[in-house]
Amino acid sequence: MLRLKVISGHLSPGSPHTGPDLRATRCGAAAGGPGEDVVVVHGRRTAIGRAKKGGFKDTTPDELLSAVMTAVLTDVGLSPHQLGDVCVGNVLQPGAGALMARVAHFLSGFPETVPVFTVNRQCSSGLQAVLNIAGAIRSRTIDLGLACGVESMSLQSMSNPGDLSARLSQNPKARDCIVPMGITSENVAERFGVCRQKQDAFALGSQQKAARAQSLGLFEREITPVSTRVVDSDGRERQLTVSRDEGVRAETTLEGLSKLRPAFKPDGTTTAGNSSQVSDGAAAVLVGRRSAVEALGLPVLGVLRGSAVVGVPPDVMGIGPAYAIPAALKQAGLTVDDIDVFEINEAFASQAVYCVEKLGIPMEKVNPCGGAIALGHPLGCTGARQVVTLLNELRRRGRRAYGVVSMCIGTGMGAAAVFEYPGL
C-alpha cells in the first residue's frame, strides 16, 4: 500500500416514459426557514489521473480518498470529531468500497466514533453521496457530514458484472442492463440522430475549455496536490506530485478527432476521442445545516435547492440527464433559463449532445471548464468532483447564480441536483 502526502427528448418509441410524469426520487429544499437549508461549505478534489498510465496508477483508492478528506477539513479548520457522518461513493471496489472507506477514514486521523458508509449508484455515486448526507441533515440525524467519491480504475476492472440470474437473457430490460456502455452510446446516436460531426465538435470543445481553464489556473482552488509513487515497467519506483489533470489535450483538433476509428462497432460513431476517459481520482464535499454552519463561523459556498433521480431505458442510458434535469428544476422552482452553468457529465459526446439539444441549453452554459471527455471520469468520484467544479465556477462569477450537476447512469437512470451560489 502506498502512503501519500497531501501538499497543500423524447424516449424511444414504445417506451412507457413519454413525458413529465417520470417517477423521481427527490429531496427538495428543507422546510422550516433558511436556517434549515442544506449548504455546501467547501470541497476539494485530487487531480484526475489517466488510468493504468498516469500518476495514480499505483495508488490505492483509500489513499486518494484520505487526501481529499484531510484537505477539506484542514482548509476550513474543522475537527473530524464534529462530523455526524461520512458517505463515500464508489463503484468498482468490492462491497462498494465499505472497507476501503473505513481505512481511508482512519488514515485521515478521523476518530472511530465518526461513522462512515458507502453508496454505489454507478456514475452518480459521488453526487448520491452528497444527497445522502443532505437527507441525513434534513431528517435531523446530523448537522454536518462529509460527502465523498473515489475511484481507481487502474486497480479495478469494469469487466466483471457479478453474479446474475440465468433468467436475465429472457427479460429484454434485464438483458439491456448488461449492454456495453459504448453500445448504449451508439444506440443514442442512431436512435436520436446525433451524427459523428456533432460528437467530435463537442469533444473538441471539451478539450479546448479544459485546456483554457488549466492554463488560467482555474482548477488550482479545487485540486489538492498529492505526493505519491509510481512503478515503471522495470519495477523502479519514483516519487512525484500529481497536481494537474492528466487527460487534457490542448493540441486536439477536429481533423485529428475525425481520423479516429470507431471504438465499439465498425460502422459506429463513438470513438476514444469523443468518449470519457478511464481515470483515477477522488473528491470530498463538506455539507451542513445552515444554522449549524453559521454557528461554527464556516462559509457557505452553495445551497442545495433540488435534486432528482429518474429511470430511463437501459439500452439508451445516456439520455438520463434530459429527464433528471427537468425534474430537479421543477422541484427548485426554476427553469433552464434560470441556470447559469450546467455541469453535465460527458460519458459520451453522443448522449451529452442529445441532452443539451433536447433541453435547449445554450452550449456556452455547458461545462465551461470542460468535462469528462477532457478531464476524465473516475466513476465514483465524478459526481462529487462536478459539485466542486460547479461551485467554484459560480463563485468566480461573483454574484448570486444557479448551477446544475447531472449525469447519466448505467442500467438506465439519470441524476441531477440544483445548487445556488449565494453571492459575495
Residues annotated as catalytic are 123, 377, 408
Element (H, E) at 146: strand 144-152
Give the C-alpha separation, 376 to 29, whole Å.
Answer: 31
**b/e code 242-255 from CB counts within 10 Å (16+ = b):** bbebbbbbeebeee
SS3 (DSSP) at 278: coil
CA–CA distances in Å: residue 322 to residues 5, 378, 387: 40, 22, 19
- Residue 302 gets which letter from DSSP? E
**Of the candidates 187, 184, 244, 185, which has an alpha carbon nearest to the alpha carbon of residue 374?**
244
**What's the angle, vertex CA 212, arms to CA 318 and CA 40, rounded to 5?**
60
The strand pair at 144-152 and 85-89 is best described as parallel
What are the phi and psi torsion angles at 89 (to 5°)? -85, 130
Element (H, E) at 415: strand 413-421
Render 376-410 in DSSP notation, one character per residue.
Answer: ---TTTHHHHHHHHHHHHHHHTTS-EEEEEEEEET
